[in-house]
Structure 1
Amino acid sequence: MKKKFNITGACIPNKHYMVEISRKLKSIVNLIEEEEYFIINRPRQYGKTTTMYMLEKFLSKKDEYIVIAISFEGVGDLIFEDEKMFCEEFLQILVDTLFINNPDLANFLEKEMDEVNNFNRLSKVITKFIMKCNKRVILMIDEVDKSSNNQLFLSFLGMLRNKYLLRNMGKDYTFHSVILAGVHDVKSLKVKIRPDSINKYNSPWNIASDFDVDMSFSVEEISTMLDDYIESKGVSLEKDYFSEKLRYYTSGYPFLVSKLCKIIDEKIMPENELKWEKEYMDMAVKQILKESNTNFDSLIKNIENNKDLKELVRKIVLEGNPITYVEDNPIISMGIMYGILKEEKGKVKINNRIYEQRIYNYMSSIIETTTDVSSYNQSSNYIKDNGELDINRILLKFQEFMKHEYSDKREAFLEEDGRLLLLAFISPIINGVGFAFKEVKGGEEKRFDIVITYNKKMYILELKIWRGKEYHKKGLMQLGEYLEQYGLDKGYLLVFDFRKLEGKAGETEEVQVKVGEKTKEIISVYC
C-alpha cells in the first residue's frame, strides 16, 4: 500500500507520512510515570487522536503497562441518560477493548457486569480489576467532548477522582493514569452544565495535571515528515525551504501542514514528475484558501456563533489592535480552545496565516456582496500585457470608487470598514491567479500591509490613516525597509486622508526613499 498525507483520523506509520513526535511522547510518558491524570485538550484536527494512538502503541510495548484505549465517539446518547446503563456500557466497552489481547481480563469484567448498577458498584469492580491485573493500568478516553456536557459523565469523573485521592492515601486501587482527549478543557465541563453556578469552576477533574506539551509542528518536526515522504516516494525537494514555509503559513497546525503537503503531492505536482518546485508552495496556499473543508467550516461557525469572540477577532485582524493575553479571560480562552487564537509574546494573535487569510476572505466577501464594486474591478482591466498586476491602476480605480460611492460618508465608513472594502475590491481581481496576505502592525500608526503574489511576482501595498506629517515620513521609511526585506524596489501606499481642507484625498504622489545605499520608489494614493 502506498503511503499518503493524511488529514482525517489517526495517522498510521505504515500508511501515512508522519511527523516524528518521539519528544512529545516522551513528555507525555513522563506524566504517566508520575501517575498523573490529565486531559489533552486541543482544537479539532490537531493531532489528538494520532497522539493517543502512538502513545498506546508505545506503552503497549512495555511489559509493566496494560493500556485500555477507548472512545466515546459513536456510543449514542442513551448511555448518558441512566446511571445503570452508563456503568454497564462503560464496562462493555472495556470488555470489547481487552478481548483480543487480554481475554482473561475481558472475561473477568464480563462476569462482574451483572452486579453493577451504580457508580459505587462500578468503583468496586475497578478496584478488583486493578488488583487482578497486577500491572499499571492506563485508561485513555478519546472524544470526551461528546459527553462533557452531561452530568452523568461528570459524576463518573468524580468517582475516578475520589479513587485517585484514596489511592494516593493507600486506601484504594485504581488506574495508574487516566488520559482524556477532547477540545474542551477541564474547567469548561462544569460551565456547560451550570453556567450561572458559583461553583462553575469546581470541576470534578481538578486533580488533573497541566498538559503543557506543544502539539504544533516545529520546523524540525515538519522536516521529519518530509524525510519520510522523500524516502518513501523518492521525491526531490528543498527540505529546509518547504519546512520553513509550511511552518510560516500554518504555525505548525497539524491539519494545515498535512493538507498543504497533500495538495502539492496529489493536485499540483505533475503525475510523471518527482520534484517539488518552490512555486508549488504558493500554489498550494492559493488552493487551500479556495476550497471548503470541515476545518474551515468550524472556524467560521465558531466565530459567527460567539458575538464577543467575533468582535475580538475583528479587532485583531482588521484594526491591528494589540490585545494583551490574559489567561482567565473567557473570550480569549474560547478562541484559543477552538484554535482560532494563540498567545505570542504576551499578545493575542490569530493562530496562523492561513486562518487569518480565510477570515479576511470571509469578511471581505460579505462586504463585496453588499457593496457595488463589480462595475469598478473587472480583473482584465488591471493585468498588463506581460501578465503582471497593475497595482497603480488598481489603487487609482479604488480612489475613483471611493469618490463616487462614499464621498458623503467616507470617514464614518472607512474608520471601521475601509480596509476591508479595499480587500473586497482587490479579491476578484487576483482571484484564481494570485492571493494576498495581510500583515497588521500595531502601534499608533496601525499599519496594514498587504503582500500580494500574482503570477510568480510579489507586490507590497501598505494601508494607513493620515495621522500627521511626521508619522507619514516615518511610515514611508518603514515601507522602504519592508521592501528591502523582500528584495523589491517599488511599493505602494494607500492613505485614508480625512482632513477637511488641507487633505490630499483624490491625489497621488511618487516619492523616493533611501534604504542604506538603495533607493526605493513608493507610489502614494490618497482617498
Structure 2
Amino acid sequence: MKRYFNTEGQCIPENHYMVRLDQRIKKIKEQYVEQGSYFIINNGRQYGKTTTLWALEDYLADDYLVLSMDFQGITTEEYQDETSFTNAFLKMLIDAIEESKSDLKDTAPLAAFLKKSEAALLSEMFYELSKMCKLSSKPVVLMIDEVDSASNNQVFIDFLALLRHYYIKRSKKPIFHSVILAGVYDIKNLKLKIRPSQERQYNSPWNIAAAFDIDMSFSAGQIAAMLREYETDKRTGMDTENISENIYQYTAGYPYLVSALCKILDEKLPGYEKFAYDKNVWTNKGVSEAVKILLKSHTPLFDSLVKQLDMFPNLRKMTEDILFQGKQIVFSSAEKSIRLGCMFGFLKESNDQVIVANRIFEMYLLNLFMAEESLESEMFRQGQNDKNQFVTDSKLNMDLVLKKFVEYFNEIYGDNDDKFLEKYGRKFFLLYLKPIINGVGNYYIEAQTRDARRTDVIVDYLGEQFVIELKIWHGSEYKERGEKQLSDYLDYFHKEKGYLLSFNFNKKKEIGVKELKIGEKTIIEAVV
C-alpha cells in the first residue's frame, strides 16, 4: 500500500505521511503519566487528539495497562440514567481489557459483576474498578476519547465526581494511576455544552486535572521532516524547507490544515493543466492554489467554525472587530467569548492579544463575512460591475482598482461622519476588492501589523502579490511614519512597489491617487 496524506480519522505512520509524534508522546509520558496526573487533551476539532492517543497507547504499553475507550460508542439512551451508563461503561471496559492483552488473566470478575448487577450504581462499579486496579501487576491508565460527547449529562458529572473522589483517596483505595480525557470542550469547566439561552454554573468536579501545556500544533521543521519523507518516495524536486515554511505561514501548524493542503498538492493539483508536472506542483504557486481549493471546500472543520459563530453572537462580533477594525483585545481566559474561541481552536493568544489562529481561518472568515455583507452592499455591487476593466493579459491593474475605489467611495459614503468611516472604511475596500479577484486570486490580512489604525492586505493574483496598507489618517507625522512602515514591509516581501489607502478625516485633504517615491520604493497613495 502506498502512503498518502490522511485527513479523516487516525493517522498511522505505515500508511500515511504524517508528522512524527515521538517527542510529543515522550513528553506526555514523562510530564503527566509518570507523575500520575489526571488531565484532558483539549483542542479544536481535527487537531490530532485521536492520533496522539493511539500513539501514546502503544508507547505506554510496556510499562502500563492502558485501557482505551471512546465515548462516542455510548448512545444517548445509555446516558439517561446511572445504571444504563454503568452497564455501557463496563461492557466497553471489558472490551478494552481484552484488546490490551493484559496480565489480568480474564475479565470474568467484571463480567460476573455486570451479569449479576444489571442495575449497578456508579459507586458499586467504582468499587469493582478499585479491585481491578489492585490486581493488576502494572499501573492502570484509563484513556477516554471524545469525552465531551458526554459532558451535557448529569450521569457523566457524577462519573467525574467519583473519579475525583478515588483520585484523592488513591493512597488508600487503588484506582487508575493516570486518567487521560480528550475532546474539544474543556471538561474542567463542565457545563460547557453551553446553550446561549441558558445560564449555567461552572461547578466542575474535574478540578483535580493537571494543566496540559504541550503544544499540539506542528512546527515548520516538523512539516519539513514529513515532506522529506514524501520527497524521498516521490522525487518531485521541491524545496522542502521553503514549502514547509509556506504551508506553516498559512496554517500556523494546525494539523488538519497541514494535511489538507498537502493532500490537495499531492492528489488534486497534478490534474490541473498548469500543474501537469510534479516540479510545478510543490511550489509557492502550488501552495497558493491549494489554499484557494481548500477555502472553497465543504469540510466538517469549517462547518464547525460557522456553527460556533452562529451559536455565540458575542464571539462572532469580537471576531469581526478583530478582522475588519483591527481591534486589539487583551487576552483573558476568564472572558467567555475569548475562552470559547480559543477552545474551539480558531482564536489564540499572541503577545497578550487575541488573534485569529491562522491565516486560512482568517481568509475563510473574511470570505464568510464578505459573502453575507455582499447581499446588501452597494460597494460590492460596484466592484462586481467594474471587475472586467481591471485585468489585461491576466495581469491585475491595482493602480486602477484604487482609483475607481476612491471615486465610488466618495460618491457613496463621502457625506458620512468620521466615526462611521473609521469603523467601516476598511471593510468597504475589501468588499469592493472581493468580486474583482474572486475565483482567481486570494487576499489575507497580515496579523502581525494589524491594529485599530493600520491593516495590511496581501493580494495574490495569479502568482503576483500586491501589498496594500490601509491607514486611518491621524496627521502628517503619522502619514510619514506609515509610508516608512510600508517601505520596510515591501522589503520583507521583496517588492519595489506598494499601495497606501488612507482614510483621511482632515477637512483640507486632497482626494485622489498619486505616486510617491520613498527611497527606491514606489508607493501609490490613494486618499479618501
Quote the Cα distance in structure 1 between the aligned partners of 2:295 and 2:194: 37
- Counterpart residue type for residue 366 of structure 2: Y
Q: Secondary structure at the match of 1:180?
A: strand
Instruction: Render the CA deviation track for 1:366-390: whole Å, top value 9, x for unaligned.
Output: 22221233344443210123x2210
| 1:456 to partner: Cα distance | 1.6
| 1:239 to partner: Cα distance | 1.0
- Residue of structure 1 in register with 2:412 after alignment: 405
Quote the Cα distance in structure 2 between the aligned partners of 1:19 and 1:121: 43
- Counterpart residue type for residue 494 of structure 1: L
In structure 2, do the counterparts of structure 1 residues 273 and 522 end up closer, same or farther at CA, with 3 Å as the change threshold?
closer
In structure 2, do the counterparts of structure 1 residues 320 and 441 end up closer, same or farther at CA, with 3 Å as the change threshold?
farther
Quote the Cα distance in structure 1 between the aligned partners of 2:347 and 2:51: 22
- Counterpart residue type for residue 58 of structure 1: Y
- Residue of structure 2 in register with 1:171 after alignment: 172
In structure 2, do the counterparts of structure 1 residues 342 and 445 end up closer, same or farther at CA, with 3 Å as the change threshold?
closer
In structure 2, do the counterparts of structure 1 residues 50 and 443 end up closer, same or farther at CA, with 3 Å as the change threshold?
closer
Quote the Cα distance in structure 2 between the aligned partners of 1:355 and 1:390: 27
In structure 2, do the counterparts of structure 1 residues 179 and 412 end up closer, same or farther at CA, with 3 Å as the change threshold?
same
| 1:227 to partner: Cα distance | 2.5
> Does residue 336 of structure 1 match 2:333?
no
- Residue of structure 2 in register with 1:17 after alignment: 17
- Residue of structure 1 in register with 2:516 after alignment: 511
CA contact (8 A) 1:368 1:425 kept: no
CA contact (8 A) 2:328 2:451 kept: no
| 1:196 to partner: Cα distance | 5.1
Quote the Cα distance in structure 1 between the aligned partners of 2:260 and 2:407: 40
- Residue of structure 2 in register with 1:382 after alignment: 390
| 1:115 to partner: Cα distance | 3.9
- Residue of structure 1 in register with 2:143 after alignment: 140
CA contact (8 A) 1:94 1:106 kept: no
- Counterpart residue type for residue 151 of structure 1: Q
Quote the Cα distance in structure 2 between the aligned partners of 1:257 and 1:39: 24
Aligned length: 514
- Residue of structure 1 in register with 2:476 after alignment: 469
| 1:315 to partner: Cα distance | 2.1
CA contact (8 A) 2:383 2:435 kept: no
CA contact (8 A) 1:445 1:471 kept: no
| 1:192 to partner: Cα distance | 4.6
| 1:408 to partner: Cα distance | 3.2
- Residue of structure 2 in register with 1:75 after alignment: 74
Quote the Cα distance in structure 2 between the aligned partners of 1:340 and 1:34: 31
Counterpart of 1:308 (choices 289, 314, 317) is: 314
CA contact (8 A) 1:143 1:181 kept: yes
Q: Percent identity?
A: 38
CA contact (8 A) 2:325 2:452 kept: no
Counterpart of 2:454 (choices 443, 447, 454) is: 447
User: Please, which runs of 5 or more residues in structure 1 have no aligned partner?
Assistant: none
- Counterpart residue type for residue 66 of structure 1: L
CA contact (8 A) 1:21 1:221 kept: no
CA contact (8 A) 2:328 2:452 kept: no
Quote the Cα distance in structure 2 between the aligned partners of 1:35 and 1:444: 44
Normalised by the size of structure 2, how large is the TM-score? 0.92
Instruction: Render the CA deviation track for 1:387-446: whole Å, top value 9, x for unaligned.
Output: 221011111111222233223336454222221121121112112222112125668872
User: Please, which runs of 5 or more residues in structure 2 have no aligned partner?
Assistant: none
Quote the Cα distance in structure 2 between the aligned partners of 1:106 and 1:262: 43
Quote the Cα distance in structure 2 between the aligned partners of 1:159 and 1:123: 8
Quote the Cα distance in structure 2 between the aligned partners of 1:445 and 1:106: 63
Q: Residues 488-527 of structure 1: matches in 2 within 5 Å?
A: 488-500=495-507, 502-505=508-511, 507-514=512-519, 519-527=520-528
In structure 2, do the counterparts of structure 1 residues 444 and 284 end up closer, same or farther at CA, with 3 Å as the change threshold?
closer
- Counterpart residue type for residue 97 of structure 1: A
Q: Secondary structure at the match of 2:143?
A: strand
Quote the Cα distance in structure 1 between the aligned partners of 2:434 and 2:193: 40
Quote the Cα distance in structure 1 between the aligned partners of 2:234 and 2:368: 37
CA contact (8 A) 2:79 2:155 kept: yes
> Does residue 156 of structure 1 match 2:159?
yes
In structure 2, do the counterparts of structure 1 residues 228 and 21 end up closer, same or farther at CA, with 3 Å as the change threshold?
same
In structure 2, do the counterparts of structure 1 residues 192 and 258 end up closer, same or farther at CA, with 3 Å as the change threshold?
closer
| 1:459 to partner: Cα distance | 1.1
Q: Secondary structure at the match of 2:106?
A: helix
CA contact (8 A) 1:217 1:254 kept: yes
- Residue of structure 2 in register with 1:65 after alignment: 64
- Residue of structure 2 in register with 1:259 after alignment: 260
Quote the Cα distance in structure 2 between the aligned partners of 1:277 and 1:311: 36
- Residue of structure 2 in register with 1:360 after alignment: 366
In structure 2, do the counterparts of structure 1 residues 114 and 214 end up closer, same or farther at CA, with 3 Å as the change threshold?
same
In structure 2, do the counterparts of structure 1 residues 478 and 210 end up closer, same or farther at CA, with 3 Å as the change threshold?
same
CA contact (8 A) 2:186 2:192 kept: no
Normalised by the size of structure 1, how large is the TM-score? 0.93
Q: Secondary structure at the match of 1:12?
A: coil
Quote the Cα distance in structure 2 between the aligned partners of 1:286 and 1:66: 46
Counterpart of 2:295 (choices 262, 273, 289) is: 289
| 1:158 to partner: Cα distance | 0.9
Q: Secondary structure at the match of 1:44?
A: coil
- Counterpart residue type for residue 79 of structure 2: F
Quote the Cα distance in structure 1 between the aligned partners of 2:194 and 2:13: 39
In structure 2, do the counterparts of structure 1 residues 388 and 410 end up closer, same or farther at CA, with 3 Å as the change threshold?
farther
CA contact (8 A) 2:326 2:451 kept: no
Instruction: Render the CA deviation track for 1:194-240: whole Å, top value 9, x for unaligned.
Output: 9756xx44421111111101000011211222123223444432111
Quote the Cα distance in structure 1 between the aligned partners of 2:443 and 2:367: 10
- Counterpart residue type for residue 382 of structure 1: F
- Residue of structure 1 in register with 2:3 after alignment: 3
Q: Secondary structure at the match of 2:124?
A: helix
108-117 or 23-32: bigger deviation? 108-117
| 1:45 to partner: Cα distance | 0.5
Instruction: Render the CA deviation track for 1:11-49: whole Å, top value 9, x for unaligned.
Output: 111221110111110111111111111110111110000
CA contact (8 A) 1:95 1:107 kept: no
CA contact (8 A) 2:148 2:187 kept: no
In structure 2, do the counterparts of structure 1 residues 109 and 158 end up closer, same or farther at CA, with 3 Å as the change threshold?
same
CA contact (8 A) 1:368 1:421 kept: no
Q: Secondary structure at the match of 2:431?
A: helix
In structure 2, do the counterparts of structure 1 residues 445 and 255 end up closer, same or farther at CA, with 3 Å as the change threshold?
closer
RMSD (Å) for aligned C-alpha atoms: 2.1
